[in-house]
Amino acid sequence: MAEAEPLTDILPGFPATVAGEILFCDADNINTDAIYPGKYTYQDDVPPATMAAVCMENFDPNFSALAQPGDVLVAGFNFGCGSSREQAATAILARGIRLVVAGSFGNIFSRNSVNNALMGVEIPRLAERLREVFSGAGAGVEGTGQQQQVTEPALNRESLDSPPPGPVATPSSSSSSLGKQKQLTRRTGWTLEWDVARSRVTVREGPGGEVWSVKVGELPPNVQEIVALGGLESWVRKEIGGTA
C-alpha cells in the first residue's frame, strides 16, 4: 500500500491554492531597478495606481499593457537581484499579481517578498520549459544544458549604475530577421496552480496542451503567517499586542 502524501498544514488566512495565467518575463538577472525604477524609490507619496503603472517599466515598457490582475509572473534566474527596495515587491502586488515564480531569486528579493506578503516559488524547470517553447533558447549556458552561473552585485550601488536587461536580437539564419527584437514579456496562455498543502505546482501548457506537475519546497508556517497577515509590519503589531 502506497504511503499517503505528506501534507502541509495551511494557516487561517493563507490560500490553499494559488492559480493564474502565466505571464513570462524572458530574462535572467532582472534587478530591482528593472522591477521598480529608482527615480520613484525615495518618493513616499507614490499611490498604488502609479506603482502598478510603472512596475517593470525599466525591464519592458510594454509590461503594463500586457499584465493583468491575477497573473502569475514567471521569470528566469536570479530575479530581484541588486539593491534593496521594498517597492520591488509592493509594485508587483499593486499590479494585482500575488505570486512570482522564477528559476531562482536574488536573496534580498526572497526576504523582501515575504516581508511584504508577495508569494514566491522557485521552479527552474518551468523557466527552462517556457524558453524551449517561446524563445527557442535554454536557460543555461549555450551548448551545456546547465544553469547559468549568476552572482548578485557586491555593492547595492552596482544595481543602480547598471542598466536592466534590454532587448536582444533573436537568433536566426534568415537575413530578413536581423535586428528583430526579442519579446521580453509574453502572455503565454499557460496556467499554473500551486497546491500549497501538497507542495506541488501543476502547469497546463495552454488549452489542450501538456499537463505536468513538480514538487516545490514546503511553505513553513511562519512564512504563511506573515503573508496571511499582509506583511511583516502587521505581524509585528500582532506580536506586540496591537491590531493586525
What pLDDT score does 122 carry? 98
Residue with cell 502586488: 93
The Cα 51–Cα 39 span in angstroms is 12
What pLDDT score does 170 carry? 38
**192 backbone dihedrals φ, ψ, rounded to 5°:** -130, 140
Intervals of the chain under pLDDT 70: 1-3, 136-180, 242-244
With b meaning 16 or more CB within 10 Å and e meaning fewer, what string describes 117-143? bbbbbbbbebbbbbbeeebeebbbeee
Q: Please check whether residue 97 is in contact with residue 67, taking contact to mean a CB–CB distance below 8 angstroms.
A: yes
Domains of the chain: 21-189 (3.20.19.10)
Residue 240 grid cell: 506586540
What pLDDT score does 139 carry? 38
What pLDDT score does 243 carry? 56
The Cα 41–Cα 44 span in angstroms is 8
Q: Please check whether residue 126 is in contact with residue 74, taking contact to mean a CB–CB distance below 8 angstroms.
A: yes
Query: pLDDT digits over 138-166, tens only?
Result: 433 333 334 444 444 444 444 444 444 54
The residue ranges of DSSP E strands in the chain, in sequence order, are 17-25, 72-75, 99-102, 119-122, 185-195, 200-204, 211-215
What pLDDT score does 116 carry? 97
